[in-house]
């Protein structure tokens, strides 16, 4: 039996299915990658969750409690690696916390080497800086990915600016400068935050935020995605426009990110 798909922790109690929720229930969530039975970048994920919970529910979660729930789920499922989803919502005026493993896809070595293909759709998150579940965006993106055989779908706002991916952040490279859409327009993912820290500590790397209009993407030399399952993933093509997936800066960032991952996993402790 696949224990990853059959065990849920609901308020730290073992269950075999999630609670039934009314349509449009507000769900604050995050997904944490597990490596060697430890949550990667746990404290950054915890910070994101705390901000969202304070905003929507005026409610917090104890850091030690969340650590132990993750540890318990990992032990119950006998899991070494995977993705844990944390969902927090209100049901019958009671806060519910649900933890469970979710299916994941990690890019192949070939995709890291050659890059991936992206498409786009018109969509905006209601609260771009806070992670809440929006089923319509995810479903529409999945449909476009299936129809176009794309790896990811970029979101365009009403002004046709690229803001982010349906489940990732995107950055571009032009003249040795790393360019991101404005932070206030996107969900600032944990992998992106780690990346920005890497950039800030390297005097040879330049970074800026700028509006990125879809019609202007041809001016960029390279592009890459960041995300929990992706880490840093080169982009080969957006719709019909090609990018350099072997860009030197991207390769440098990938190497630096691997060092950050190793350090974080080795230093994390449940106690």
How far is the CA of 188 from the CAs of 93, 127, 148, in angstroms? 29, 11, 27
The residue assigned the tokens 């696949």 is 2
Calculated CA dihedral for residues 77, 44, 258, 262, nearest 10 degrees: -60
Residue 41 confidence (pLDDT) = 98
For 111, other C-beta atoms within 10 Å of its C-beta total 17
- C-alpha closest to that of 53 among 8, 101, 95: 95
Residue 5 confidence (pLDDT) = 67
Residue 136 confidence (pLDDT) = 82
The answer to whether 45 touches 189, Cβ cutoff 8 Å, is no
Residue 1 confidence (pLDDT) = 43
How far is the CA of 171 from the CAs of 48, 208, 221, 224, in angstroms? 20, 10, 11, 6
Per-residue pLDDT of the chain (271 residues; tens, 9 = 90+): 455 667 999 999 999 887 776 666 778 889 999 999 999 999 999 999 998 888 888 777 899 999 999 999 999 999 999 999 999 888 777 788 999 999 999 999 999 999 999 999 998 877 665 656 567 888 999 999 999 999 999 999 999 999 999 999 999 999 989 999 999 999 889 999 999 999 999 999 999 999 999 999 999 999 999 999 999 999 999 999 999 999 999 999 999 999 999 999 999 999 8
The pair of structure tokens assigned to 67 is 């650590």
The whole-model pTM stands at: 0.92
């Amino acid at each position: 039996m696949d224990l990853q798909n059959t065990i849920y922790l609901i308020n730290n109690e073992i269950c075999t299915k999630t609670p039934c929720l009314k349509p449009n229930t507000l769900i604050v969530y995050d997904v944490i990658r597990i490596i060697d039975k430890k949550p990667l970048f746990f404290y950054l994920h915890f910070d994101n969750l705390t901000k969202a919970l304070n905003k929507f529910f005026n409610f917090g979660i104890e850091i030690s409690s969340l650590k132990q729930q993750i540890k318990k789920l990992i032990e119950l499922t006998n899991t070494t690696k995977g993705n844990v989803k944390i969902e927090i919502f209100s049901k019958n005026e009671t806060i519910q916390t649900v933890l469970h493993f979710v299916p994941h896809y990690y890019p192949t070595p070939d995709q890291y080497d050659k890059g991936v293909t992206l498409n786009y759709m018109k969509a905006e998150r209601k609260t771009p800086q806070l992670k809440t579940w929006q089923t319509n965006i995810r479903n529409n993106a999945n449909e476009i990915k299936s129809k176009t055989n794309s790896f990811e779908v970029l979101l365009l706002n009403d002004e046709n600016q690229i803001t982010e991916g349906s489940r990732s952040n995107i950055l571009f490279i032009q003249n040795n400068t790393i360019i991101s859409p404005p932070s206030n327009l996107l969900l600032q993912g944990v992998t992106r935050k780690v990346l920005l820290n890497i950039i800030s500590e390297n005097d040879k790397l330049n970074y800026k935020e700028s509006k990125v209009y879809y019609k202007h993407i041809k001016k960029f030399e390279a592009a890459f995605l960041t995300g929990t399952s992706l880490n840093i993933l080169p982009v080969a093509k957006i719709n019909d426009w090609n990018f350099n997936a072997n860009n030197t800066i991207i390769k440098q960032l990938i190497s630096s990110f691997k060092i950050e991952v190793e350090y974080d996993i080795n230093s994390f402790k449940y106690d």
